[in-house]
Amino acid sequence: MSASSPFTQKIYAVAARIPKGKVATYGQVARLAGNTNAARAVGNAMKRNPDRRVVPCHRVVASDGSLTGYSFGKGIATKKNALLKEGVIFIGIRVDLARSQWRAA
């Protein structure tokens, strides 16, 4: 799937809506983009994200709240620091999804 494919553009549009201090899961982004079975495609799109200022890929996490696959800075440590700065709540090494998951309208 190319970065310019319609589905990838939908993924980026959904991820761009995740507010500061909240996270969404890969599956949640896939569902909101129109394909409940495309969590891996979301991960691939986040990896190829052309602009982190527009598409905050650090706000996309695994379904259990764990931090996976971040290719910027120092990887997962950079992702966790960015989320902590935004006020995302963790329980140990995982995001507390009950308190920090985005509830898309």
Residues acting as catalytic residues = 57
3-state DSSP assignment of residue 101: strand
